[in-house]
Amino acid sequence: MIRLVSCIALAICFPAAASDTPPPTMASVLEAATAADWRKPDPDNTLYLELASGRVVIELAPDFAPRHVANLKALARAKYFDSLAIVRVQENYVVQWADPNAGDIDKRKSTGELPRTLPAEFAREIKAAPGFTALPDGDVYAPEVGFMLGFPAARDPKIGKTWLAHCYGMVGAGRDNAADSGGGTELYVVIGHAPRHLDRNVTLVGRVLAGMQRLTTLPRGSGAMGFHEQPEDNVAIRAIRLAADVPVAERSALEVLRTDTATFAQLIQARRTRSEAWFIEPTGKIELCNVPLPVRGAP
């Protein structure tokens, strides 16, 4: 099978099918992927949120939010989150967990010597950032968008900054009005249409790799902004653990498709121009948060 390579805007090179081969689909791209196209999430940067309904797996993003991620890991190791609760479920927006007594300085759970707040990590320098797989179709909110280390990201070469993007499943550190008032004691997950206006307003710390439906199917909060009005409506958190601290046999064996490979570039192309028989208008474009980031059970 001969494959040519076509290069388009923003220097993405997509392998193009020769005319005698059917155009790629996501299914065919994933079928042709090799073991090297997949990576195992680092257990030292993976959190397990344990609910009565089961586990939600979160991959952390230390390259974007090193101090928040370090604090989160330390909080998890100190069992800070155990017995806290999901206190907010807002339709088409976020699920959020916190100490239900966070507002009461006498009743709130201690973080020991760990800080409750940290300097914001809204964006980082592009200069030292690893490879960026850029998308060619533009974006409403940022000059450039694409993927870095498996996360949806945006960047602005003019100011030399890059930042994570609020796509579905992204996890962030809630804060009060001050930029530096977050620190990881309250976290939220995007469960609706990407609220990209939150980009560079909150420190994003990772994304959900598995178990989204344990969050998205939760009853919505009846209060303002989806907060639960009655304590009994809060959803208990059994524990948040660092995967590395969980016995190997109890870990979730997952693999994530790398985003810096020719295979991922093919996947983007297959999703930009849909060649499945069902599609009539193949579109020819794709928006950042519509690019799938495949996760599978480890073979």
Helical spans, DSSP H, in the chain: 26-32, 66-77, 212-216, 262-272
Could you tell me which stretch among 15-23, 74-82, 256-264, 274-282 binds a second copy (CB under 8 A)? 274-282
**Contact pick of 19, 34, 177, 230 for a second copy (by CB under 8 A):** 177
Question: Taking CB under 8 A as the rule, which mask of x and - marks residues 195-214 in contact with a second copy?
Answer: xxx-xxx----------xx-
**Residue 235 interacts with a second copy (CB under 8 A)?**
no
CA quadruple 28, 29, 35, 39: dihedral sign: negative
- Single out the residue of 1, 11, 105, 140 in contact with a second copy (rule: CB under 8 A): 140
68 binds a second copy (CB under 8 A): no
Cα-Cα-Cα-Cα dihedral sign, residues 174, 177, 179, 180: negative
Q: Distance between CA atoms of 23 and 132, rounded to whole angstroms?
A: 25
Residue 297 pairs in a beta bridge with 254
Give whichever of 75 and 86 is closer to a second copy, judged by the CB atom. 86
Q: Which stretch binds a second copy (CB under 8 A): 64-72, 101-109, 234-242, 273-281?
A: 273-281
Rounded to an integer, what is the distance from CA 166 to the centroid of its chain? Answer: 8
Please name the residue that has the structure tokens 């604090």.
Answer: 71
- Return the amino acid letter for 298: A
Rounded to whole angstroms, the Cα distance separating 120 from 118 reads 6
CB of residue 218 to a second copy, shortest distance in Å: 7
One residue of 51, 194, 235, 240 binding a second copy per CB under 8 A: 194
Binding stretches for a second copy (CB under 8 A)? 91-92, 120, 122, 137-141, 167-169, 176-177, 179, 192-197, 199-201, 212-213, 216-220, 271, 274, 277-281, 283, 285-287, 289-290
